[in-house]
Amino acid sequence: MRLHDFPYSPNCKKVRAVAYELDIPLDCVTVNLFDGARAPEFLAKNPNGRVPVLEDGDFVLWESTAIMRYLARGSALLPADPRRAADMDRWIAWQLAHLGPAMSKVARERIVKALRGHGEPDLARIAEGTAEFHAATAVLEASLADDGYLAGPLSLADFALAPHYDLAGACQLDLTPYPRVTSWLTRVCARPSMQRAIHYDTQARP
């Protein structure tokens, strides 16, 4: 299977970490997020112009959440118990609908604009995204136990959230008010699969 990805993208890290965790070999091809993802040959694979994109023979799949689920089918990362599975689904949806948009606002103003030379950050947008980030993260903090993972045993939910929270520092979003989130994040990021996904950009590429 071939994965079109970009090393710094948290959505790509989700997919790579799951593949590494499950020992699924992936042929990774780096796409330049800013230019390459708008090239006609890439848009033919994903008309949204976004990474990651998985190719499995003639089947082309985009949206990192869908790719994670496809790779993890039949594995222990998808809980068999209906309520555990629902807990996993809850956090995956929550990341997509709430945490992701909040962090994207801040990342766009603080990181993407600087990288692209797109002018000064919009401070009102940063304040808005920061407030949403803290409101969301307070919910996660209150939901977490002192140890363990988001849906009981390790599941796709942990791999869906951790690559985003791992970028909180780079976005100047403070995690110190959230000791359980910090402890969970440290635990997930210590896994060899996450280490490999996070530090992928500093390794020799396949």
Contacts with its own copies by CB under 8 A lie at 47-48, 59, 61-67, 69-70, 73, 82-83, 85-87, 89-90, 92-94, 96-98, 100-101, 136, 138-139, 142-143
Element (H, E) at 2: strand 2-5
Minimum distance of its own copies from residue 163's CB (angstroms): 14
Minimum distance of its own copies from residue 100's CB (angstroms): 6
Peptide bond into 52 cis (omega under 30): yes
Q: Identify which of residues 64 and 130 has a Cβ nearer to its own copies in the complex.
A: 64
Q: Identify which of residues 48 and 186 has a Cβ nearer to its own copies in the complex.
A: 48
Tokens of 70: 């496809």
d(CA 99, CA 191): 23
Minimum distance of its own copies from residue 180's CB (angstroms): 14
**Residue 5 β-bridge partners:** 30
Tokens of 177: 């008010």
Question: Which amino acid is present at 198?
Answer: I
Q: Is 186 exposed, middle or buried (0-12, 13-18, 19+ CB in 10 A)?
A: exposed
Q: Identify which of residues 135 and 186 has a Cβ nearer to its own copies in the complex.
A: 135
Q: Identify which of residues 76 and 97 has a Cβ nearer to its own copies in the complex.
A: 97
- Residue 63 DSSP code: S
Q: Identify which of residues 76 and 142 has a Cβ nearer to its own copies in the complex.
A: 142
Q: Identify which of residues 97 and 145 has a Cβ nearer to its own copies in the complex.
A: 97
Cα of first residue to Cα of last residue in the chain, in angstroms, is 13
d(CA 31, CA 13): 14
Q: Report the 10 Å Cβ neighbour count for 137.
A: 22
Minimum distance of its own copies from residue 197's CB (angstroms): 19
Q: Report the 10 Å Cβ neighbour count for 65.
A: 17
Minimum distance of its own copies from residue 54's CB (angstroms): 9
Minimum distance of its own copies from residue 122's CB (angstroms): 11
